[in-house]
């Protein structure tokens, strides 16, 4: 016997059977509906990019440890996109003169990361991205927060089930610079370490801190930055905060942002989190991650933030942007945890599909002609190709949940008629070929009236 290959997909990657894809598509369509209400338009990028554009400002870990690299013939190395933002920046930089600002775009790519597969993390994952570019004001960040809240509420989730944990890179810069007096060039390293704080346990984190910094004052300072849930909570941990901190752009901007989320009444959905600093290098302003507030799903569902300088790797023009990426997989785990996936999307609905059953194979051409007419009227239509044993064909239609079966036999063929079977009442009626569509509509009207009365 010849060797049989494994039926499994590559580790960390998934096959989507139609049933799985129905759920994924339902999630994506719901997101699409929300973002299009805000005027966002869809775009698409290639899945392969030059590695340099991610190496420049994404993260060392992402490029060096978590990437799928494709080697081209000439030795040029390409990367299977681990995230989308550098590609978005490239596309915007390329046409920045002609694009009307602000640019509101969304995309539904598959991204690839060589991570340890686990609950909430796969090696290939669908990551809808929503970004607004060319709008400097905090209202852009506020709009993005609103979009996130609307997406979750559209799925029926409540503030008790999810929170947007936010912070600001500029604010944390000011804390490091003016309160902890950490040298500017070390601050990115502080963020890198802090980003690990919720991924490592307490002992691992302390060891990682000591290995990275060796300096006891910095280590004690960073430990204080870890898990405050309000700006006041965080600042209470420090004595003698200098006035220049309270006058810094980072502090003032974050305070203003908090006032705005209060004013538009989404405060309940948002929690300040000093440990949220984001792992990607290009963030400069307000940053955020969405988490399940329960204990079942510990990985972030959404992640995003403001990037002021990302386009500078492609052009001299400065265009700021803010937005998020979200995992369809992580969101689906969240929705399942709270029973927010409706039952009726789990099975394919054949109730509007017309089924053609034939008494023998002599009717095959007639069946194709009939099916074409029905599809031309926008009804899905399936032909049973067994062409014998009518009882079995009707049984099959019944199993699928079909409501209307068209039966054709020698008599129907000779007289150009069709017998229509209402699968609910089990009534049958023979009509002329040209009257079939009208009869289908009248049976559907009957079903709808019955549904309405119930």
Nearest residue to ligand HAM on Cβ basis: 303
CB of 203: closest distance to ligand HAM in angstroms?
A: 25
Q: Which is nearer to ligand HAM, 281 or 384 (CB)?
A: 281
In this structure, the number of other CB atoms found within 10 A of the CB of residue 261 comes to 21
Q: Which is nearer to ligand HAM, 125 or 162 (CB)?
A: 125
Site for ligand HAM in 128-157 (CB under 6 A): 129, 131
Q: How far apart are CA 290 and CA 170, in angstroms?
A: 20
Q: How far apart are CA 260 and CA 273, in angstroms?
A: 17
CB of 108: closest distance to ligand HAM in angstroms?
A: 12
Interaction of residue 330 with ligand HAM, rule CB under 6 A: yes
As given in the structure block, the two tokens for residue 115 are: 């991570």
Interaction of residue 323 with ligand HAM, rule CB under 6 A: yes
Q: Which is nearer to ligand HAM, 171 or 302 (CB)?
A: 302
CB 409, CB 358: distance < 8 Å: yes
Q: How far apart are CA 346 and CA 335, in angstroms?
A: 14
Choosing from 90, 122, 170, 196, the residue that interacts with ligand HAM (CB under 6 A) is 122
Q: Interacting stretch for ligand HAM, rule CB under 6 A, among 47-55, 232-240, 302-310, 348-356? A: 302-310
Binding mask 179-218 for ligand HAM (x = CB under 6 A): ----------------------------------------
Kindly state the helix (H) or strand (E) to which residue 305 belongs, with its residue range.
Answer: strand 302-307
Beta bridge partners of 164: 270, 290
Torsion of Cα atoms, 435 then 440 then 445 then 451, to 10° = 160
Q: Which of 194, 179, 319, 167 is nearest to 248 (CA)?
A: 179
CB of 129: closest distance to ligand HAM in angstroms?
A: 5
Choosing from 180, 194, 327, 357, the residue that interacts with ligand HAM (CB under 6 A) is 327
CB of 121: closest distance to ligand HAM in angstroms?
A: 4
CB of 409: closest distance to ligand HAM in angstroms?
A: 54
Interaction of residue 338 with ligand HAM, rule CB under 6 A: no
Q: How far apart are CA 91 and CA 131, in angstroms?
A: 13
Choosing from 329, 334, 338, 366, the residue that interacts with ligand HAM (CB under 6 A) is 329
Residue position matching structure tokens 């869809």 = 42
| Beta-strand runs (E) in 92-230 | 103-107, 110-112, 124-126, 129-133, 162-168
Interaction of residue 314 with ligand HAM, rule CB under 6 A: no
What are the CA-CA distances from residue 229 to residues 276, 287, 351, 412 (Å)? 10, 15, 51, 75
Interaction of residue 320 with ligand HAM, rule CB under 6 A: no
Q: How far apart are CA 335 and CA 205, in angstroms?
A: 31
Q: Which is nearer to ligand HAM, 82 or 250 (CB)?
A: 82
CB of 283: closest distance to ligand HAM in angstroms?
A: 8
Q: How far apart are CA 214 and CA 226, in angstroms?
A: 18
Size of interface with ligand HAM, in residues (CB under 6 A): 25
Q: How far apart are CA 184 and CA 172, in angstroms?
A: 12
Residue position matching structure tokens 């960073």 = 222
Interaction of residue 85 with ligand HAM, rule CB under 6 A: yes
Burial class of residue 207 (count of CB atoms within 10 Å of its CB; 0-12, 13-18, 19+): exposed
Choosing from 102, 221, 285, 303, the residue that interacts with ligand HAM (CB under 6 A) is 303
The one-character DSSP state at 4 is: P
Site for ligand HAM in 277-296 (CB under 6 A): 280
Interaction of residue 324 with ligand HAM, rule CB under 6 A: yes
Choosing from 104, 113, 196, 226, the residue that interacts with ligand HAM (CB under 6 A) is 113
Q: Interacting stretch for ligand HAM, rule CB under 6 A, among 325-333, 372-380, 382-390, 433-441? A: 325-333
Choosing from 125, 155, 162, 269, the residue that interacts with ligand HAM (CB under 6 A) is 125
Residue position matching structure tokens 């007419």 = 373
- Contacts to ligand HAM by CB under 6 A: 83-85, 113, 115, 121-122, 125, 127, 129, 131, 280, 300-305, 323-327, 329-330
């Amino acid at each position: 016997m010849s060797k049989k290959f494994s039926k499994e997909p590559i580790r960390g990657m998934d096959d989507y059977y139609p049933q799985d894809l129905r759920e994924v598509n339902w999630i994506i369509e719901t997101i699409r509906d929300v973002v299009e209400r805000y005027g966002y338009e869809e775009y698409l990028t290639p899945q392969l990019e030059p590695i340099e554009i991610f190496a420049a400002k994404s993260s060392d870990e992402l490029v060096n440890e978590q990437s799928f690299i494709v080697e081209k013939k000439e030795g040029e190395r390409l990367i299977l996109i681990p995230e989308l933002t550098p590609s978005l920046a490239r596309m915007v930089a390329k046409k920045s003169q002609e694009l009307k600002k602000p640019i509101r775009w969304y995309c539904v790519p598959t991204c690839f990361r060589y991570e340890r597969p686990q609950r909430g993390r796969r090696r290939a994952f669908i990551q809808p991205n929503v970004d607004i570019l060319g709008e400097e004001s905090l209202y852009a960040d506020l709009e993005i927060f609103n979009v996130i809240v609307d997406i979750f509420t559209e799925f029926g989730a409540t503030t008790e089930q999810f929170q947007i944990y936010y912070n600001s890179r500029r604010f944390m810069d000011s804390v490091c610079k003016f309160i902890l007096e950490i040298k500017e060039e070390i601050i990115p390293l502080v963020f890198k370490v802090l980003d690990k704080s919720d991924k490592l346990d307490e002992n691992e984190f302390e060891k990682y801190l000591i290995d990275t910094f060796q300096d006891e004052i910095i280590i004690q300072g960073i430990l204080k930055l870890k898990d405050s849930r309000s700006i006041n909570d965080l600042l209470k941990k420090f004595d003698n905060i200098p006035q220049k901190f309270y006058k810094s752009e980072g502090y003032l901007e974050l305070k203003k942002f908090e006032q705005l989320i209060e004013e538009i009444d989404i405060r309940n959905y948002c929690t300040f989190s000093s440990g949220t600093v984001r792992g990607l290098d290009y963030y400069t302003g307000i940053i955020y991650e969405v988490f399940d507030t329960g204990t079942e799903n510990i990985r972030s569902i959404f992640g995003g933030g403001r990037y002021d300088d990302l386009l500078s790797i492609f052009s001299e023009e400065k265009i700021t942007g803010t937005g998020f990426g979200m995992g369809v997989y992580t969101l689906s785990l969240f929705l399942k945890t709270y029973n927010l996936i409706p039952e009726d999307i789990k099975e394919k609905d054949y109730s509007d599909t017309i089924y053609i059953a034939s008494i023998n194979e002599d009717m095959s051409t007639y069946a194709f002609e009939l099916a074409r007419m029905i599809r031309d009227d926008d009804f899905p239509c399936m032909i049973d190709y067994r062409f014998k044993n009518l009882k079995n064909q009707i049984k099959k239609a019944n199993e699928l949940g079909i409501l209307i079966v068209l039966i054709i036999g020698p008599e129907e063929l000779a007289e150009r008629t069709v017998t229509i079977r209402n699968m609910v009442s089990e009534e049958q009626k023979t009509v002329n070929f040209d009257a079939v569509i009208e009869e289908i509509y009248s049976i559907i009207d009957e079903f709808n009236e019955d549904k309405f009365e119930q």
